[in-house]
């Protein structure tokens, strides 16, 4: 079922100017908007979090946690980060706030870590005092380790019960995603102290790790909570084609690599199957691949036309995708910011009603999408 069955519209540039992106107005099917540059010169920014006092935190994959305060990027990075490794696709990855951050100042970081047994994905909990992390405690570590330097995943999201969902990639070793005694290739649901969350689907199954919530996931690079249902939505990279959007449901096998709509990078098939009994079909997929990264539902007031739409960044195709939803299914698709020519790493719904974007480059930017006045 090719992606062309969906409506695809290209964004158009309304105004060309040589004075910078802030003077450019972009047109979408339903709204005109522009980009405000919030911060520049970040080294492969990966994730963004909004603090209650208006401060923002940005991770740089190169191993720095940065602060944007009063609209300015603070020169000195946050101190006290856990030990991590920057290798290939690994480094400092996601940052999410504790649901009660206002009272406990606790946050969570995902990152790559290396020791003599190899590399893996870790999650640490820490307290942020405004400039420094203290009380750093590793609460999750995906095992076994390996020498691979890709597909760490690392996206995280909290549900309404305060459980933390942690995505771990297949580490580029695809068969690990179907092995539930191996932490790679799935979503793990844990409490804020790292224990398996109550009600996890495999708690009574000795053949499967207690923290597993789903498996058969290749490399999830976007996770968000549905504003109405509370379900966790995600997307993941396919190989050459087969990027997927999924709703993360307990105990579900999403099929990788037993089923896929993509092919191997060599051009050869990974499998001839796109469906199998007991394996979930994606809600939506892309072929060819767009390399999705970052995902957010629009819930603000600045763009009432976009209420309930889902926004997805794209690395390979260098665009922002707007998906219209109807009855829990994708009913339309629009490409935005194709003229920007930047890899979109993260997409966040800001408390100010704007969509915030991170661009992935050695000198990446933080943008706000705001209406044209």
**Looking at residue 23, what is its pLDDT?**
63
The values of phi and psi at residue 134, to 5°, are -130, 165
CA distance 174 to 348: 29
pLDDT tens digit sequence for 88-137: 999 999 999 999 999 999 999 999 999 999 999 999 999 999 999 999 99
Q: How much is the average pLDDT of 346-358? A: 98
**Looking at residue 206, what is its pLDDT?**
85
pLDDT tens digit sequence for 219-271: 999 999 999 999 999 999 999 999 999 999 999 999 999 999 999 999 999 99
Token pair, residue 80, equals 């006290």
Sign, Cα dihedral of 281, 11, 45, 86: positive
Question: Could you tell me which of 351, 350, 319 has the C-alpha nearest to residue 335?
Answer: 319
70-107 burial: b if 16+ Cβ within 10 Å, else e: eeebeeeebeebbebbbeebbbbbbbbbbbebeeebbb
User: Hey, how many other C-beta atoms are within 10 angstroms of the C-beta on 370?
Assistant: 17
Per CATH, the number for 3-371 is 2.120.10.30
CA distance 361 to 303: 28
The values of phi and psi at residue 336, to 5°, are -120, 160
**Looking at residue 13, what is its pLDDT?**
34
Domain locations along the chain: 3-371
CA distance 179 to 182: 5
CA distance 366 to 73: 10
**Looking at residue 320, what is its pLDDT?**
98
Sheet with 72-73: strands ordered across: 45-50, 56-60, 64-69, 72-73
Active-site residue set: 151
Q: How much is the average pLDDT of 318-340? A: 96
Tokens 């051009």 belong to residue: 267
Tell me which of 23 and 297 has the higher pLDDT. 297
pTM of the model: 0.94
């Amino acid at each position: 079922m090719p992606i062309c069955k969906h409506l695809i519209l290209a964004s158009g540039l309304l105004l060309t100017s040589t004075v910078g992106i802030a003077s450019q107005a972009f047109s979408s099917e339903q709204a005109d908007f522009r980009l405000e540059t919030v911060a520049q010169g970040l080294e492969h920014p990966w994730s963004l979090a909004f603090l209650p006092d208006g401060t923002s935190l940005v991770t740089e994959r190169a191993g720095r946690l940065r602060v944007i305060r009063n609209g300015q990027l603070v020169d000195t990075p946050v101190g006290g980060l856990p030990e991590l490794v920057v290798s290939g696709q690994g480094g400092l990855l996601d940052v999410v706030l504790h649901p009660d951050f206002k009272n406990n100042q606790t946050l969570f970081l995902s990152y790559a870590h290396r020791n003599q047994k190899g590399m893996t994905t870790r999650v640490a909990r820490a307290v942020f005092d405004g400039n420094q992390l203290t009380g750093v405690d590793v609460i999750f570590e995906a095992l076994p380790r390996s020498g691979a330097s890709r597909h760490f995943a690392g996206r995280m999201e909290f549900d309404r019960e305060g459980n933390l969902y942690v995505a771990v990639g297949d580490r580029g070793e695809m068969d690990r995603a179907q092995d539930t005694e191996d932490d790679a290739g799935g979503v793990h649901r844990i409490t804020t102290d790292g224990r398996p969350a109550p009600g996890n689907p495999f708690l009574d199954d000795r053949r499967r790790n207690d923290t597993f919530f789903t498996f058969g996931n290749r490399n999830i690079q976007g996770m968000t909570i549905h504003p109405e249902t509370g379900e966790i939505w995600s997307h993941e990279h396919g190989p050459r084609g087969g990027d997927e959007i999924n709703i993360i449901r307990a105990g579900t096998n999403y099929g990788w690599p037993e089923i896929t709509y993509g092919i191997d990078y060599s051009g050869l098939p990974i499998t001839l199957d796109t469906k199998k009994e007991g394996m979930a079909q994606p809600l939506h997929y892309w072929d060819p691949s767009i390399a999705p990264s970052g995902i957010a539902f629009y819930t603000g007031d600045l763009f009432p036309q976009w209420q309930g739409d889902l926004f997805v960044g794209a690395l390979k195709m260098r665009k922002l995708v707007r998906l219209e939803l109807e009855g829990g299914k994708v009913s339309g698709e629009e490409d935005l910011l194709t003229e920007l020519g930047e890899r979109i790493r993260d997409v966040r719904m800001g408390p100010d009603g704007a969509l915030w974007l991170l661009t992935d480059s050695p000198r990446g930017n933080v943008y706000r999408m705001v209406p044209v006045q």
